[in-house]
A and B are shown apart, each in its own frame.
Chain A
Amino acid sequence: MTGALGPLSRLVGLRFGTFSTRIALLYAGLFAVVLGLVVSLAAGGLSRFGEASAGRDLEANARVFDEILAARARQMGDQAGVLAHDFGFREAVATADAPTIASALASLQERVRSDMAFVLTLEGEVLAADANGFPSPETLWARLDEGGTHGIIASHQGLALAAAAPIKAPDLIGWLVIAQPLDRAELDRLVELAPIALEAQVVESSTQPEWLRGAAVNAAFEREIEGERFLYHVSDLAVLQDGIVPRLVLRHGLAESLAAYASLRWWLTMLAVGGIVLVLGLSWKVARSVTEPLQQLDEATRLIGAGREVILKVETGDEIGRLAESFNQMVAAIKERERQIIHVGLHDGLTGLPNRQLFTEQLANVLTRRRDAEQVMVAYVDLDDFKMVNDTLGHPAGDALLRMVAEHLKEDLPDALIARLGGDEFAVLIDGIDEKASLGNLADRLQACFNRPLTINGQAASSSASIGIAMAPGDGEDGITLMKNADLALYRAKHEGKSTYHFFEPALDEAARQRRQLELDLRTAIKNGGFELNFQPLYSLAEKRLTGFEALIRWNHPTRGQINPVEFIPLAEETGLIVPIGEWVLREACHQASSWPADVSVAVNVSPKQFAATGIASTVLSALAASRLAPHRLELEITESIFIADVEQTLATLHSLRNLGVKIALDDFGTGYSSLSYLRSFPFDKVKIDKSFVEDLGTSDNGHAVIRAITTLAAALGMETLAEGVEDIAQYEVLEREGCQNIQGYLFSRPVEADAVAGLLRHGAGYQRQLRA
């Protein structure tokens, strides 16, 4: 789980690492967009405002210029009017007194600082000091006749502002016109009055470029000239002369007026940049305040994943604080569950006692803490006949018994660590035992725990236990050794009889070592073919001949020589090696028997373990097929102990074997859990009477009766009988007399090697030869 969380937390950590940056960037980006819009709008607005206000200024200036020109013209008109009204002047004009007029005009020019003055009579005559340079009378006449009092005229000095006053005597006889050229200096004086910097020009429209000539009048417009932006304003001026279109052209450099706004725009941009930086910083800080707890959470998660204890500090009452609180609660809940899981993992579910693992750990702890003068006792306890309780009273009763025993142990040995190792096996650990203390008493006290009366299902019951004890430091200083030795001692105690205890002694260890060695050798023998078969003849009393041989395994150990089957068969049974060994025996026996005469059969022992193993029938079939031995010539010898296991299954297996056509004999009849019901449940071909009954024939009187009972019973059930271990003629005679049909024993022959079988068949065996003789 931590392994799975590791990369996940790293992944989350990586993503969170950029989270604050992302938030900061997002907000700054949004702000930048908005600010950018605002600034660009404002800048655009400023530019437009600047342009518009410059345009308005221009228009206003144009109007002011008009006003000023009109005022100037009026003033000039007034000045002209004064002369035009003068009686003498009027008389001079009416009487065409040219010299008087010329002098009067010169005087007027002097007085009003006008550059031009002349009289235009109603008849179209121009009267002036110097008539040159004035516009032709025809172009002026119409305007004046219509009542025009002032306007622009074109003189030899350029465009000029002119004003006219009628001369009446008393009827209109002409006009007095005075004019002032609108030259540079004059316009510059006007420009000085303007609030904005501009250039003014009064020009004749027809001399202007097309774009200016065609421009809309009385409206400001923009024009770029040589890369510079200018605002233009064009207005028509009143004229006093036909055929001219004088215009006032005002020009204003936009760069100048926009320069003021440029600095404002610069400040605005700076403000925006500053704002963005501020927002970036602030949003990063805000994001940090969110992501920092997340990073702490991430770190805490990783530490917890690594098995460290972490408690987050709850600093605030907000969502983050609640998250930290929830996280702490979750961590606590996980720890509690972990504790429970560990408890379940280290304790036995039925009794609540520690299990083997916890016992082993505790033992290791105790051993490391052990002081020199102290001893530690490890006792392995196995309940006697527990299986019987389970079988007879049922598993719930067995469980109840185990719980009660556990309770008793806890009550009676409060200072001891008691564990259930499994099944009916318990372990007891007692530490701090003084080295001079009596271990015997301690063992007795332990034993006494099991002598307490028990009640199961309302019935009184008794229990006893076998106990194996190992002491530290004497029997080992580490837990593994101590537990092994205690187990060996228990093994010995079981073998010595029940309800007893046994202290470990080194010999037990040696025996165990030898057993292990033997097992290894056995495996080697199976692999390398270290076994061979001997055959002991079976003599038929009815046919007076050898009708078969029992195959018996022999192990020729490479270093120890011949090893008694009694020594290694139980070990093979215990370790399960009996299955391959039994298979080999079966095949070898069939192989050998196939070379014998057809009326000679072979008997093979099948161990209960081998019998219970799956596939015994196919193993037999395969052995028969390989040797081409007729099935009826193979006799399988089984013991009653096969019935201890599942009876139904056993019977099914027996029937399947019988269906193959092989014979089945019941071996060692009369020993163990002999029961007549077995005989009734399956029609054995042969019953082998145990040699103990044959031995009895010489010593007890009722031996005859037993033999007779068996033979009678077998005959009644249609089974043959065979007596084992027949060693002398007296036994032979009794068995013959009591109806036993077959004999096996030293009287005829010991087991012989395979190649001796033919000789026995040819020449007879032992007593058979005497019988023939």
Chain B
Amino acid sequence: MYRSPFSALAAILAAAPFAWATGGVDAIAAAATPPALRVQVVDGAGLPVRDAVVELHATSPSAGPIRFPWKMGMAQKNQQFTPGTLIVARGSTVAFPNLDTVRHSIYSFSKPARFSIELYGRDQTRTHTFTMAGSVKLGCNIHDQMRGYIRVTDTPFAGKTDHNGYITLTGMAGGAARLTVWHPGLRTPGNESVSAITITGGQQSHKLRVALR
């Protein structure tokens, strides 16, 4: 119920360039064997889960600002939040451009970012800065069906699964790490699942089975 067709569309829009980039990294990694973690998220029935956010937390926090290769924006288009799931680094300011002809508002009761943006019209943009890590659920007060998820993270090794449920994380250091999966439909407190993992370096595959509602 949380994987609406709108979120799928958003994922394509957001993931396409990333997929291309990863493809390139893969080829390089295969040659130089840099550490890479390929994770597949499947549901109880073994079907791939798309738009799940996978984060790898190394024991030693990485220094320096975190930059993700996608835009820090969550548009409102066709009465949908686009992309449905957005991963941002803590402290990022996310823009909310209204690309629809109708007015939208934005609210969040989520703990990391409680805010409410009054109705605003077409071609107007509002912004909000997310200062706490966690997941923020966005809704529009006048369009109940609109859902938007912003994952505020502290790690640079994060990404959304593709339509096959795959995500490949690269560039991390070896050693023990925490692997976190978040998805709005996950049947766990906070909609996230944490597991320990050891990064061995080189190509590494990991399959995560999660329960969705």
Contacts and interface: CB of A to CB of B under 8 A. Distances in A.
B184 A171 contact: yes
B147 A171 contact: yes
B147 A169 contact: no
B6 to A, nearest CB: 13
Interface stretch (A52-60, A87-95, A257-265, A705-713): A87-95
Contact of B109 (A85, A91, A145): A91
Interface stretch (B40-48, B51-59, B136-144): B136-144
B69 interface: no
A171 B2 contact: yes
Interface string B123-145: 00000000000000111110010
B146 A170 contact: yes
Given A91-B109, A145-B213, A170 B2 contact: no
Contacts of B184: 171
A168 B144 contact: yes
Given A145-B213, A170-B137, A171-B184, A94 B109 contact: yes
A123 interface: yes
B190 to A, nearest CB: 10
Contacts of B144: 85, 168, 170
A155 B134 CA distance: 38
B213 A170 contact: no
A171 B141 CA distance: 12
A170 B114 contact: no
B141 A87 contact: yes
B109 A171 contact: no
A95 B114 contact: yes
Interface in B94-118: 107, 109-110, 114
A171 B107 CA distance: 12
A95 B2 contact: no
Nearest to B189: A123
Contacts of B139: 168-170
A94 B189 CA distance: 14
A168 to B, nearest CB: 7
Interface residues of B, number: 16
A123 B191 CA distance: 11
Contacts, number: 27
B127 to A, nearest CB: 20
Interface in A145-177: 145, 168-171
B79 to A, nearest CB: 13
Contacts of B140: 170
Interface in B138-159: 138-141, 144, 146-147
A455 to B, nearest CB: 155
Given A94-B109, A95-B109, A170 B138 contact: yes
Taking residues whose C-beta sits less than 8 angstroms from the other chain, chain A's interface range is 10 to 19
Contacts of A169: 109, 137, 139
A242 to B, nearest CB: 18
A127 to B, nearest CB: 15
Nearest to B81: A170
Interface in A108-149: 123, 145
A712 to B, nearest CB: 180
B50 to A, nearest CB: 17
Contacts of A171: 2, 137, 147, 184
Nearest to B137: A171
A95 B116 CA distance: 14
A87 B2 CA distance: 21
Nearest to B109: A94
Contacts of A91: 109
A174 B140 CA distance: 18
Contacts of B110: 94
Interface in B168-191: 184, 189
Nearest to B145: A170
Contacts of A145: 213
B14 to A, nearest CB: 20
B189 A170 contact: no
A557 B59 CA distance: 196
A91 B144 CA distance: 14
A478 B120 CA distance: 166
A123 B188 CA distance: 9
Contacts of A123: 189
Interface string B9-36: 0000000000000000000000000000
Interface of A: 85, 87, 90-91, 94-95, 123, 145, 168-171
24 contacts: A85-B144, A87-B107, A87-B141, A90-B109, A91-B109, A94-B110, A95-B109, A95-B114, A123-B189, A145-B213, A168-B139, A168-B144, A169-B109, A169-B137, A169-B139, A170-B137, A170-B138, A170-B139, A170-B140, A170-B144, A170-B146, A171-B137, A171-B147, A171-B184
Interface of B: 2, 107, 109-110, 114, 137-141, 144, 146-147, 184, 189, 213
Given A145-B213, A170-B146, 13 more contacts: A91-B109, A94-B109, A95-B109, A123-B189, A168-B139, A169-B137, A169-B139, A170-B137, A170-B138, A170-B140, A170-B144, A171-B137, A171-B184
